[in-house]
Structure 1
Amino acid sequence: MFACDFGPATAQAAFLVAPEGFCRADQSAQDNLYMAQASSFDAECALAQHRALHRAMSEVLPTVCFAGDPATPDAVFPNNVFATAAGRYVVGRMRHPVRQREADRADIRNFLGGVLDYAEIDLSTQAHACELTGSLVIDRARGLGLCGLSERCDDQGARLMHEALGLRATLMFDLAPGEYHANVVLAVLAGRAAVVSPRGFADAGVAEAIADFYAPNAIVLSEAEHAAFAGNSIALSSDTVWMSARAEAALDPRNRQLLAAAGFGVRAVQLDAIEAGGGSLRCCIAEIF
């Protein structure tokens, strides 16, 4: 069941959005407990770290970076707004108005729909929050969705994303109180490993079941690893998992060994200035399949 024959396990390209005008978005902070206070934001440092991420990613896959806009301070996390599958792109419906503006980006839509000639599925104007690959962690090799429900995605939003991305099956589960996105507490790496933070699940049994599904390549995070955004990681190729330098520093030696046993080296990029915005490396990356 759920054979690894659905599609490529990792993306063929990616895009980013620069953190121009990067600052605290008070609307988003209402349900993002990871977001720092306004005094902790350093826009120039965030730009420099983001450029370093772009350079590093460009070494392993084509990576486009779109200009940022001070009117959309959270746009540095475009994976919540845009997602792709073979021949199509999906525009999500964000919970907060400050983020709903991001869905109107004509340049990104024209790139995906015009340059790449992908068909558009626009969920941004319907009523149900569905923050795409923030809420929905996808095992692309199996066509399997793992969707964390919160104020950022309800059950109907999960169903809409499942249909739009053409997935085989989607498991819906409640996130723990205070968690806003599944991709902070869960990652599936190239279809053959999972990084799981039980603290982020309302029902620890769901986290255990996901870990069992990917055993022996299940990396179960401690609370310290969770707090350092180790769950917000991504495989951009079959042999490397990417995470922030903060997450890499917190990684337990045993979990590093488990990643190595699963065939993954770890590559880290300093992103502490970006992490003030309540997300980390994976949140910055919109994958193109």
Structure 2
Amino acid sequence: MITRDTDAFLRFAHGSAPDFGPATARAAFLVSPDGFARADESARDNIYMADAPAFDPACALDEHRGLHRALSRCLPTICFAGDPATPDAVFPNNVFATAHPDAAGGGAGRVIIGRMRHPVRRREAIRDDIRGFFTDVLGYRLHDLSGQLHPCELTGSLVIDRARGLGFCGLSERCDEAGARLMHDAFGLRATLMFDLAPGEYHANVVLSVLAGRALLVCPDGFADPATADAIASLYVPHTVRLSAAERAAFAGNAIALGDTVWMSTRAGQALVSPQHERLQAAGFRIETVALDTIEAAGGSLRCCVGEIY
């Protein structure tokens, strides 16, 4: 099922058991911010991106190494080299994603390559080293969406409950309905709910995060219709964390669960008020933070930096 009908989606989703696949990734990959700079094309529809003076390449590299070290203590984490010709490549989850073998229809796992809206980001999709790592080294099947016309920026636009096989796809300039359908099929999901993001929002994963299939971070003001946020939140009661506009602006919604740890940037963690910390702890999570102030100038945060390997 893929639909805009919230009620129909909820009826289906409430009956979906957490047996679709692993709730969190078994490994992660990063792309180094070599040549870190402002991508003016991306800035056209990313309200979170700072002006050029905020981009400090040396500081970004230092922060990124800290992220790599931190995640490596949690799960196997590899890092690919960056390229000054692809200044947004520090956010690889928009371009590359994977599906677990069972979710992908059995057999080998699947690597999915998205179609980016802006040409500067389409350059990332043609990297032979990242493609070859998944297909030749890991033996994953390739599902390449990069050559078709509909924008579908993978797990930037599509937030996935991997345990239950449910997708939540925020539509914007970065993903249209046709792109959402292509991603729904590529990930082999049971059901996907499509909804419009609020004006100015570019990716669902800034305003929504499903944490290991058992908790939710949600920013209602990031949805065109806040009732959609309420509907999604109902699936994760009592472990639903509603974020304020200030918490959203600090990227508290751009978090990821890896095992029983919720990872977010230091700025996001500091913005998260005490009751929110307590709700996450009640859901069985601990919170880890990494300083990413400079990288956040590029309009994304920790979750955007992490490519998941299922």
Short-chain TM bin: over 0.9
1:27-106 matches, cutoff 5 A: 27-86=41-100, 87-106=109-128
Q: Please, which of 21, 28, 31 is the counterpart of residue 7 of structure 1?
A: 21
One-letter identity of the residue aligned with 1:22 = F
2:3 match: none
Give the length in aligned residue pairs. 288
Q: State the shift of 1:166 in Å.
A: 0.4
Q: Does 2:193 correspond to 1:171?
A: yes
Q: Using the alignment, how far apart are the partners of 1:207 and 1:191 within structure 2?
A: 16
One-letter identity of the residue aligned with 2:126 = D
Listed one character per residue, the Cα deviations across residues 36-75 of structure 1 (whole Å, up to 9, x for unaligned) are 0001111100000000000010011110100000000000
Q: Does 2:250 correspond to 1:224?
A: no
Listed one character per residue, the Cα deviations across residues 218-259 of structure 1 (whole Å, up to 9, x for unaligned) are 00001110100000000011x210000000000011111111
Q: State the shift of 1:2 in Å.
A: 1.1
Q: Please, which of 264, 273, 288 is the counterpart of residue 243 of structure 1?
A: 264
SS of the residue corresponding to residue 147 of structure 1 reads: strand
Q: Please, which of 244, 268, 283 is the counterpart of residue 289 of structure 2?
A: 268
Q: Using the alignment, how far apart are the partners of 1:281 and 1:56 within structure 2?
A: 12
One-letter identity of the residue aligned with 2:39 = A
1:136 match: 158
One-letter identity of the residue aligned with 2:48 = Y
Moved over 4 A (4+): none
SS of the residue corresponding to residue 241 of structure 2 reads: strand
Q: Does 2:225 correspond to 1:203?
A: yes
Q: State the shift of 1:208 in Å.
A: 0.6
Q: Using the alignment, how far apart are the partners of 1:229 and 1:24 within structure 2?
A: 19
1:258 match: 279
The answer for unaligned runs of 5 or more in structure 2 is 1-14, 101-108
Identity %: 70
SS of the residue corresponding to residue 75 of structure 2 reads: coil
Listed one character per residue, the Cα deviations across residues 149-190 of structure 1 (whole Å, up to 9, x for unaligned) are 000000000000000110000000000000000000000000
2:8 match: none
Q: Using the alignment, how far apart are the partners of 2:235 and 2:187 within structure 1?
A: 22
SS of the residue corresponding to residue 268 of structure 2 reads: helix
Q: Using the alignment, how far apart are the partners of 1:60 and 1:37 within structure 2?
A: 33
TM-score when normalising by structure 1 = 0.99
Q: Using the alignment, how far apart are the partners of 2:278 and 2:76 within structure 1?
A: 29
Q: Using the alignment, how far apart are the partners of 1:2 and 1:82 within structure 2?
A: 26
SS of the residue corresponding to residue 272 of structure 1 reads: coil
Q: State the shift of 1:213 in Å.
A: 1.2
Q: Using the alignment, how far apart are the partners of 1:156 and 1:14 within structure 2?
A: 28
SS of the residue corresponding to residue 161 of structure 1 reads: helix
1:26 match: 40
| Structure 1, 72-81 or 252-261: larger mean CA deviation | 252-261
Q: State the shift of 1:274 in Å.
A: 0.4
2:103 match: none
TM-score when normalising by structure 2 = 0.92
One-letter identity of the residue aligned with 1:274 = I
Aligned-residue Cα RMSD (Å) equals 0.4
Q: State the shift of 1:16 in Å.
A: 0.2
Q: State the shift of 1:199 in Å.
A: 0.9
Q: Using the alignment, how far apart are the partners of 1:286 and 1:240 within structure 2?
A: 16
2:132 match: 110
Q: Using the alignment, how far apart are the partners of 2:26 and 2:67 within structure 1?
A: 17
Q: Using the alignment, how far apart are the partners of 1:57 and 1:226 within structure 2?
A: 23
Q: State the shift of 1:211 in Å.
A: 1.0
